[in-house]
Structure 1
Amino acid sequence: MTMIFAWWNQICLVGGEPEMVARSHEDDFPSSIQKLPILTKAKTNFTTSADVDRQVSEALSQGQSLYDLDVTQLKDLKPSIIDLCNVCSIDLVSVQRVAMTMNPVPDIVTLNPTSVTEVMESITTVGTAIGRAKEAAMIRSQLEGRIQRCRNVAMQAKKETPDYRPKRVMFFEWTDPIYPGGHWTPEMIEIAGGVHPINGPATPSRRVTSDAVLSVDPEVLIICPCGLDLPATRKEYDILMTKDWFRTLANRASTIVLVDGNQMFNRSGPRLVECTEWLVMLLHNRPEFEPAGFPWERIK
């Protein structure tokens, strides 16, 4: 039996869903896993981006975890494997501490991807851990083929346009304070034929100033706050539009879009391939690359 804290996409992708016995509060895709018990809970309550940042900062300054873990239920389920992502889930030490008190002690598979390549490698790692290496290899090959197709569009555009210049993109992973896209997101933008000047590939998201954002003069603004659905993202966009610096940015930009950051971009799973395809659609006006049902809306 497998209990998962962040790699539900990979496990389901390689056919391991029947072996899953629990999930974290963030695990909601595919919808069929939502029947599983939830073992974690965020200690923060979303109101606005600025308020969540305050809550997180206070918790971290006091040495507190950002999540609660249902230890009793975890022990009752007796999973043989716990899959854990260091990027976006409960901290490893907390899980290890509980696991060492269990009998038998479960194996812990922990990953820390920072790039598209490492996300693809995680499929192999997870598939091997649950005894589905062959299925993982097949799925990984298919996904990498789709990524290469995205690269080909960008390379073709550069080849066919003598004065080709990649569009400058500003990806908002958080809006107040401002955190630009990090880890795999800048790389995905580059694969699709754009450039993310304010933060490079395989670099964690970091807090930046509004002046820094204005200085790169982005043509494309993607508002995709981590963990927020489209209705919440619209509210954050409305708050941004009350700020002089952002209105200046918006007036200069040729494209402004909102994306569901709970489903897309901010989780290190195979749907990042869909996000890369969506970027190809957005940056090159190639509607055939837009994934069916992709949760976004165009503002400008």
Structure 2
Amino acid sequence: MYTLLDDFPSTIQHLPILTKAKTHFTTSADVDRQVSEALSQGQSLYDLDVDQLKTLKPSVIVTQDLCTVCSIDLVTVQRIAHTMDPKPEIVTLNPTSISEVLDSIITVGNAIGYQENAKRIRAEFEDRIEKCRNVAEEVRTSKDHKGEEYNPKRVIFFEWTDPIYPGGHWTPEMIEIAGGVHPINGPGKHSRRVTVEAVVDTDPEVIIICPCGLDLDATRKEYNHLMEKDWFRKMADKATTIALVDGNQMFNRSGPRLVECTEWLVMLLHDRPEFEPAGFPWERIK
């Protein structure tokens, strides 16, 4: 039996839920306060249903140690697993790039005995990513042939809105694969808190608001809060594109749907509707 601490796809949502966040969403600023206070006191941000975990007797637990804010911390999982009999194998996934995300598919496939399936799926995803690169290259080549200078669209990706955390890890890389540029934070770098001035200085043409863990309704409210700020309204007026994305489902999880997110970026940056994944949870503001 394999116990995955996740909620996607919908076909697994009938399975036992083993973790629960201790924070409660009100506003971005208030959640940041809750998180900061808990971490300063050395507290975990999640509760783990230890009794149910032991009852399930998993042979494999898949978890992560990349972000203590996003999921149960690895130390807690290891501590509980050490008390279980038999002890489960812990598979920790900490990718910071698209290639490492795809490597994770192989890691999980090897752990659960589906090596060949994992190889096939990875190859399919690599092919889809390559098609995204090809579109970006076609746009560059077309500009060159016309004797025009190619300037990739400047993107600001809000991973959190108050305080501001721009997209990090794989997100800037995905933007570049799709033919854009994320000046405030480059590929492979952690998301970090930045100033309003640093955001405004990027002079973005494309604004993507995709707060980690928030659905589209909550994201819309955060966008409305941003629009109450003079600096953001001015930036939004200059931008050619503004998009809201469900940050609970897309971009912020290091899983297979990052391929869909890259395809969506191709659609958004180059007006290629055929690349938009079916049912992608987003809303165009501008």
Distance 2:32 2:202 in 1: 24
Distance in 1 (CA, whole Å) between partners of 2:120 and 2:71 is: 27
- Determine the structure 1 residue equivalent to 2:55: 76
Kindly provide the amino acid, as one letter, of the partner of residue 125 in structure 1.
Answer: T
Partner of 2:33: 54
**Residues 30-81 of structure 1: per-residue CA shift (max 9 Å, x gap):** 1111101111110000000000000000000000001011111111111111
Q: Deviations over 1:56-112 (max 9, x none)?
A: 000000000010111111111111111112233211110111111111111100111
Structure 2 unpaired stretches of 5+: none
Cα displacement (A) at 1:249: 0.9
1:272 corresponds to which residue?
Answer: 258
Give the residue type in structure 1 aligned to 2:36. Answer: S
Per-residue CA distance 1:153-210 (angstroms, 9 max, x = gap): 0011001103111000000000000000001000000000000000000111000011
Residue 217 (structure 1) aligns with: 203
Aligned to 2:3: 3
Partner of 1:180: 166
For normalisation by structure 1, the TM-score amounts to 0.92
Distance 1:89 1:119 in 2: 17
Pairs within 5 Å for 1:59-208: 59-87=38-66, 88-162=70-144, 163-208=149-194
Amino acid of the structure 1 residue aligned with 2:267: M
- Show the counterpart of 1:292: 278
Aligned to 1:231: 217
One-letter code aligned to 1:68: D
Structure 1, gaps ≥5 residues long: 6-26
TM-score by length of 2: 0.96
Deviation at 1:248, TM superposition (A): 1.2
What is the rounded CA distance, in whole Å, between the counterparts of 1:28 and 1:100 in structure 2? 25
1:152 to partner: Cα distance: 0.3
> What CA distance in whole angstroms lies between the structure 2 residues aligned with 1:37 and 1:138?
29
* Runs of 4+ with deviation above 2 angstroms: none
Identity %: 75
| SS of equivalent to 1:160 | helix
Secondary structure (helix, strand or coil) at the match of 1:120 reads helix
Matches of 2:86 and 2:240, distance apart in 1: 57
Give the number of aligned pairs.
279
CA shift, 1:29, in A, is 1.4
Instruction: Look up the match of 2:20.
Output: 41
**How far does residue 251 in structure 1 lie from its aligned partner after superposition?**
1.1
Distance 1:109 1:49 in 2: 31
